[in-house]
Amino acid sequence: MFLRNQWYVAAWSREIGRSLLARRIADEPVVFYRTEDGRAVAFEDRCPHRLAPLSLGQIVGDRLRCGYHGVAFAPDGACVDAPGNPVPKGARVRTYPLIEKWGWAWIWLGKPELADEALLPDFHWQAEPGWAPIGGTLHFKAHYQLLVDNLLDLSHEAFLHMNTIGNNAVAEAPVHASSEGEHVRVTRLMADCPPPPLFVRARGFATNIDRLQDILFSPPCYVSITVQATPAGTNDVSQALRWQVLNALTPETERTTHYFWGLPRQFLVEDRAVDGMLEEAVVRTFNEDRAMLEAQQQVLEERSLDSRTLLTLADAGPGRARSVISRLLRAEQAA
Amino acid sequence: MFLRNQWYVAAWSREIGRSLLARRIADEPVVFYRTEDGRAVAFEDRCPHRLAPLSLGQIVGDRLRCGYHGVAFAPDGACVDAPGNPVPKGARVRTYPLIEKWGWAWIWLGKPELADEALLPDFHWQAEPGWAPIGGTLHFKAHYQLLVDNLLDLSHEAFLHMNTIGNNAVAEAPVHASSEGEHVRVTRLMADCPPPPLFVRARGFATNIDRLQDILFSPPCYVSITVQATPAGTNDVSQALRWQVLNALTPETERTTHYFWGLPRQFLVEDRAVDGMLEEAVVRTFNEDRAMLEAQQQVLEERSLDSRTLLTLADAGPGRARSVISRLLRAEQAA
Amino acid sequence: MFLRNQWYVAAWSREIGRSLLARRIADEPVVFYRTEDGRAVAFEDRCPHRLAPLSLGQIVGDRLRCGYHGVAFAPDGACVDAPGNPVPKGARVRTYPLIEKWGWAWIWLGKPELADEALLPDFHWQAEPGWAPIGGTLHFKAHYQLLVDNLLDLSHEAFLHMNTIGNNAVAEAPVHASSEGEHVRVTRLMADCPPPPLFVRARGFATNIDRLQDILFSPPCYVSITVQATPAGTNDVSQALRWQVLNALTPETERTTHYFWGLPRQFLVEDRAVDGMLEEAVVRTFNEDRAMLEAQQQVLEERSLDSRTLLTLADAGPGRARSVISRLLRAEQAA
């Protein structure tokens, strides 16, 4: 069960082109392609004739033609050809609102009349002058809320990611969690702490640092983390490590998640070697999460998370986000 | 749920010999072997002692001996030895009526007293002088009725098989569908149309052709297609391509099908190179079907075919066949 | 559904050390490790914080620290650290009574106050002067009761193991089955019979032998088989083949079993070549069982063993053992 009246990241814009892309989003099968004039469209990946996946068909001009019996659809979803038949009146395939912004294609699964671009979460750093963006996609065999939990309690960095972004300071520093409407914010300030390994590699810190994590959750599945580190006591922006960890945790099924991530940074923005080094470190780090969350998912297929008996202070953030999602789900069901 | 009082093709006769063949037919596990005098027998593939598969046992003379504790059965299913015990009275394994005809072994799963050879569908071309038979077996991860649907609406040839037997003429020509008792007939005449690629390869057509498809469905799972093509306007039988596509679509489980096919032809009957060329083309063509039907099967595990919203004129044949099968199923259940 | 108030073999003692061992025992996930002073401990393999498997964590001194958020537990299960938090009062992970004896680690899944070492089955031969032990572990994709059935009706040796321990004598000789409280005994005396192949290889018999199988079942999953063979009519212990087949058939899930086996022998006890030859023969023999029992398990996922229609005299032993297990299960459920 997923929220429907929400934008979900469906793909990197560069993934959608003149060949068909099939992807399941929040348990809905969708096929994507681009028209001759470059517009991205999203259809339900089922031919209304015999339910064959349209993604096994062909793009012909602006149309998508089913590969089974050749039924064809215009970009607006209207059936425009059923070979051997008059054009069927009113036949159509379901289409979905689709927006491209900040390098991503965002799909709206719910009522089309509610699809409002103003509801997109703010991920502008991916297309901001002065910021160097990197990014990628991972696939987790775990429910997306486990990924949200993970990102809202970064104390795990001290145990799971000690070779990249973690050290004891992250687990020891207290967090402050708060809610702003449907948003949840968790902040952690680590003053005068040793820099974790990746920070040293990326920015060459030779002394302790002052480190900030400012985490913003936006429903249904977005976590944007502002990260800043400066030599301890200096507040020297010219030496700062500053990046934004952008996470779009699109549910695929109840057990799997498309993990779209970006990491735009505000230092050494011209340095492609830093791009490569960071990308490798991020993928390594997220794969450490993946192993843990996939194991946790296996447990949760036998047992509810409600059966846990130990809560920590750092659970405040994940707990607030789960409450927001539950509240919104109840509201959608009531409507 | 499958029809029981029906003949199903279980195997090619040549597959049954002096080693054990295990095969699931319409969700029943069956083991086949041949006695010393050459008679093919079919047992339920379960030892009545501890339910171990008899197909893990040994043929000893005319008997089948279970490989676990050595219980042995005569070809009529009677238990004739239980090592360490007196011969158990009345103990037996279930046997099935089995007929060999036209190269195939046909099994009857229902009430043995109803098994009547006269109920076999007519596939005599496979053993007819003047016809050159080829044939084979494929395995589809799809319900057998999807295969029946596929063969009763050949308009798909224009989109799925354009490299062998399809071109636009097949999709554009109208079909005529009719019922004769439990049989469904679909005919399509394509006058003065371009020959599809395989027809050119097989018969060297250099001009347009007159092409006929005459499709006969017989329950539960048989489709026999009479195919004829002659140079357009000539009706010249000496230049004709004429073959019979024989399809026995034996359900294995609710999700899988044994596809026994034959393609006897009435031209170049001595030419073994044509055999090989045709076999390759048929397997290629049916594998194109397979990819589509297995994808359709995946969809139908989530969603009923009843939810489709577009019907075409060519759906008349599949629709009639589905009605026949439903009617027969209801009759069997009522009895 | 498994008996809980029982000892189960969880591992060979040598498998438990200073790295974490995860194993499912009777459907409970357990993690094992050894403290600095060498004591073996068993925890439920779930962190009470977020249910992540503790087996993905680290051993730190005597403690086990969760690999996700670093929550740590003492060998008695008490939570002794929750990073970033005061030590949580009363938080703990479930621990299990664990005994090491005769080379094996035995776990108690039920009420800890009932865990009594005196309830262990007698497998002392594995650590007995004058006996040469070999042993190993196999994994069967079959319910453990199928393995119990198998060992209590050794007539199958004549059909499944004719290359090692079986010949016709085993199937033909009558068995005597009896019960002693919760124990079931099955004996089979084969006087003046040919030695099976492995007996010849192991002991060089050149004549017929007198052969004894004395099988003892102890709930929930233990079968201890006393095997003795001497040249026929001699009763000459100096030439005897004598070994004890020790079988601990620990359920993993309802469909899988950990098979711990030992084969201490009382002849050629210094001969390491005999160790190797016997180990190879035992593994080959048990893998023959495995193929059969895994096939039987597949059948039983569709059909109950109750549907069998043929009982043999040798079913007496397996039948008695099943009755004992059923009775004990009912008693546990009533309590």
Neighbour subunits, C (≥3 Cβ pairs < 8 A)? A, B
Report in angstroms the alpha-carbon separations of C19 from B137, C48, C49, C58. Answer: 52, 21, 22, 8
Of the candidates B29, B67, B83, which has its C-beta nearest C171's C-beta? B83
Q: Which residue of A has its CA nearest to B297?
A: A52
Q: Which residue of C has its CA nearest to B47?
A: C308
In chain A, residues with a C-beta closer than 8 Å to the C-beta of C69 are 153, 155-156, 159, 171, 312, 314
C260, C250 Cβ separation under 8 angstroms = yes
In chain C, residues with a C-beta closer than 8 Å to the C-beta of B83 are 155, 158-159, 168, 171-172
The residue written with tokens 């998370």 in the block is A305
The pLDDT score that the predictor gives to residue C31 is 99
Of the candidates A46, A68, A91, which has its C-beta nearest B159's C-beta? A68
C160 touches chain B (CB under 8 A): yes
Chain B, 46 to 65: residues with Cβ < 8 Å from chain C are 46-53, 56, 65
CB atoms inside a 10 Å sphere around CB A313: 15
Nearest CA distance, C51 vs chain A (angstrom): 6
The pLDDT score that the predictor gives to residue A97 is 98
Evaluate the omega torsion of the peptide bond into residue A121 and state whether it is cis, within 30 degrees of 0: no
Contacts of residue A327, Cβ cutoff 8 Å, sequence gap at least 6: none
The pLDDT score that the predictor gives to residue A182 is 97
B159 touches chain A (CB under 8 A): yes
In chain C, residues with a C-beta closer than 8 Å to the C-beta of B46 are 299, 303
In chain A, residues with a C-beta closer than 8 Å to the C-beta of B152 are none
In chain C, residues with a C-beta closer than 8 Å to the C-beta of A295 are 52-53, 56
Burial class (CB in 10 A: 0-12, 13-18, 19+), A236: exposed
Contacts of residue C185, Cβ cutoff 8 Å, sequence gap at least 6: C177, C178, C179, C214, C215, C216, C217
In chain B, residues with a C-beta closer than 8 Å to the C-beta of C296 are 50-53, 68
Nearest CA distance, C42 vs chain B (angstrom): 37
Q: Give how far the C-alpha of residue B55 lies from the chain's centroid of Cα atoms, to the nearest Å.
A: 23
Task: Tell me what the mean pLDDT of segment B74-98 comes to.
Answer: 97
Residues of chain C with pLDDT under 70: none
Nearest CA distance, A94 vs chain B (angstrom): 11
Q: Supply C37's token pair.
A: 């002073």
Chain A, 16 to 35: residues with Cβ < 8 Å from chain B are 29
The pLDDT score that the predictor gives to residue A9 is 98
Encode pLDDT of B129-162 as tens digits.
Answer: 999 999 999 999 999 999 999 999 999 999 999 9
Q: Which residue of B has its CA nearest to A93?
A: B309
Encode pLDDT of A9-23 as tens digits.
Answer: 999 999 999 999 999
- Candidates C310, C311, C313, C315: best to mutate against B (most CBs of B within 10 A) is C310
Nearest CA distance, B48 vs chain C (angstrom): 5
Partner residues linked to C325 by β-bridges: none
Nearest CA distance, C1 vs chain A (angstrom): 15
Q: How many CB pairs under 8 A join B and C?
A: 81
Comparing CA positions, the residue from C41, C29, C6, C14 lying closest to residue C252 is C29
Encode pLDDT of B188-226 as tens digits.
Answer: 999 999 999 999 999 999 999 999 999 999 999 999 999
User: Given its phi and psi angles, is residue B235 left (phi above 0), alpha (psi -120 to 50 degrees) or beta?
Assistant: left
Encode pLDDT of A91-103 as tens digits.
Answer: 999 999 999 999 9
Encode pLDDT of A138-165 as tens digits.
Answer: 999 999 999 999 999 999 999 999 999 9
CA distance B321 to B217: 7
The pLDDT score that the predictor gives to residue B305 is 94
In chain B, residues with a C-beta closer than 8 Å to the C-beta of A252 are none
Across the interface, whether the CB atoms of B53 and C314 are under 8 A apart is answered no
pTM: 0.95
In chain A, residues with a C-beta closer than 8 Å to the C-beta of B151 are none
A163 touches chain C (CB under 8 A): no
Across the interface, whether the CB atoms of C84 and A296 are under 8 A apart is answered no
In chain A, residues with a C-beta closer than 8 Å to the C-beta of B156 are 68-70
- For the sheet with B222-231, list strands across it: B135-140, B256-262, B241-253, B222-231, B209-218, B183-193, B175-180
- Three-state DSSP string of chain A: CCCCCCEEEEEEHHHCCCCCEEEEECCEEEEEEECCCCCEEEEECCCCCCCCCHHHCEEECCEEECCCCCCEECCCCEEEECCCCCCCCCCECCECCEEEECCEEEEECCCHHHCCHHHCCCCHHHHCCCCECCEEEEEECCCHHHHHHHHHCHHHHHHHCCCCCCCHHHHHCCEEEEEECCEEEEEEEEEEECCCHHHHHHHCCCCCEEEEEEEEEECCCEEEEEEEEEECCCCCHHHCEEEEEEEEEEEEECCEEEEEEECCECCCCCCHHHHHHHHHHHHHHHHHHHHHHHHHHHHHCCCCHHHCCCCCHHHHHHHHHHHHHHHHHHHHHHC
Nearest CA distance, C46 vs chain A (angstrom): 8
B287 touches chain A (CB under 8 A): no
Average pLDDT, chain B: 97
Q: How confident is the model at residue A173 (pLDDT cuts 50, 70, 90)?
A: very high
The pLDDT score that the predictor gives to residue B53 is 98
Nearest CA distance, B232 vs chain C (angstrom): 57
State the sign of the Cα–Cα–Cα–Cα dihedral A89, A94, A99, A104.
Answer: negative
